[in-house]
Structure 1
C-alpha cells in the first residue's frame, strides 16, 4: 500500500509534545521504559528531553508521532546515547519512518564518535530497525528491574573525533608561561 498525501515534518522537541507521545506510546516502548527504569512514558520522555544534547519530534500531518534524540554519555570521549519513543502511528507509516530515520541517525552522529544505548530484548521490531540502521547489537544481559533482558547496541563513527573536539576544547588551559 502506498502512503500518499502524508505531510511529514521534524521539529525541535518541545515539552508540549510529551502528552501526545506518552498517551499513545507503542506497547513495546512502554514495556521497555517500565522495565528499565520503572518510569511511565511521560516520565521517560521528560527525563530524556532534559538529558539530551539535542532532541526532535517527528510529525505526521502536524501530529507528534515520535520523539528522538541523543544525550551525552561522555563528552570527553564523544560518546552519546541515542533514543526514540514513538506512537502506534509509526507502524502505519513505517516506510516514511524508515526513510527518515536513516537520515536523522546520521544527523545525530555528527558530534559523536560512538553512539550506544540499550534495547529491550523482547522488542524485536526495534532490534531489527537498529540493525537496519547499522548498529551492532550485543548478547542480551539482565538489566531490567525484574531481570528483564536488554541488549547493548552501538555504532562507531571514526570521522567524528575532529568534529567534536573543537566544541569541547575552545581554549584549553595549559598554565601561564614563566
Structure 2
C-alpha cells in the first residue's frame, strides 16, 4: 500500500519528532554549518522562513522552507532537513521535489544556500533539480558548496 503524504505548515512540535530521527548527513551538516543540534537547527530555520512539514502516514519526516536573504535583489534562502524516510521513499521524494520546486519561488527569483561538501547524495539531488554550484566556502573549517536555483520562465 502506498504511503499517505500530506504537506502542512511547519509547527514547533514537528521539530522534535524529525530531530530524533534526522538523517546522519543532515545532523553533520547543521553542526558543521551553524554549530547547532537538530532541534535548534529546525526551530531556527522554521522561525526564519515560510516552512512546511511533510507528514508520511501522519508522522513528520521532512521540514523545508524559504526565507529572505535579500528582498531587494529577490534572493531567498532555501533549506530542507529530514529523516531516512527520504531514502526509503526516494522515488516519491525526487518526483515531489521536482514538481514542488516552482512553488518555492513565490517571493524570490533566486534561491541559495550551502551544502556540506561531504553530502554527495544532496549534491547529486540538487544538481538533478537544476542547481548551479557557485563555488566552495569554508564554514568553521569545513568545506561547503554554495548553490543557487533560479526561477524557470518556461514553466
For residues 49-70 of structure 1, what are the alpha-carbon distances to aligned partners after superposition, in whole Å with 9 as ceiling and x for unaligned? 1100x11101110111100000
> In 2, Cα distance between the equivalents of 1:49 and 1:108?
15
**Could you say which residue in structure 1 is the equivalent of 2:147?**
153
Unaligned runs of 5+ in 1: 160-178
Say which structure is richer in strand. 2
> In 2, Cα distance between the equivalents of 1:73 and 1:150?
18
Question: Is residue 5 from structure 1 mapped to residue 5 from structure 2 by the alignment?
Answer: no
**Could you say which residue in structure 2 is the equivalent of 1:105?**
101
TM-score (norm 2): 0.94
The CA deviation at 1:130 is 0.6
The CA deviation at 1:158 is 6.7
The CA deviation at 1:116 is 0.7
**Could you say which residue in structure 2 is the equivalent of 1:38?**
35
Residue number among 110, 113, 117 corresponding to 1:114 in the alignment? 110
Partner of 1:105, secondary structure, is helix
Question: Is residue 69 from structure 1 mapped to residue 91 from structure 2 by the alignment?
Answer: no
Residue number among 12, 18, 22 corresponding to 1:15 in the alignment? 12
Question: Is residue 83 from structure 1 mapped to residue 87 from structure 2 by the alignment?
Answer: no
Larger radius of gyration: 1
Aligned residues between the structures: 153
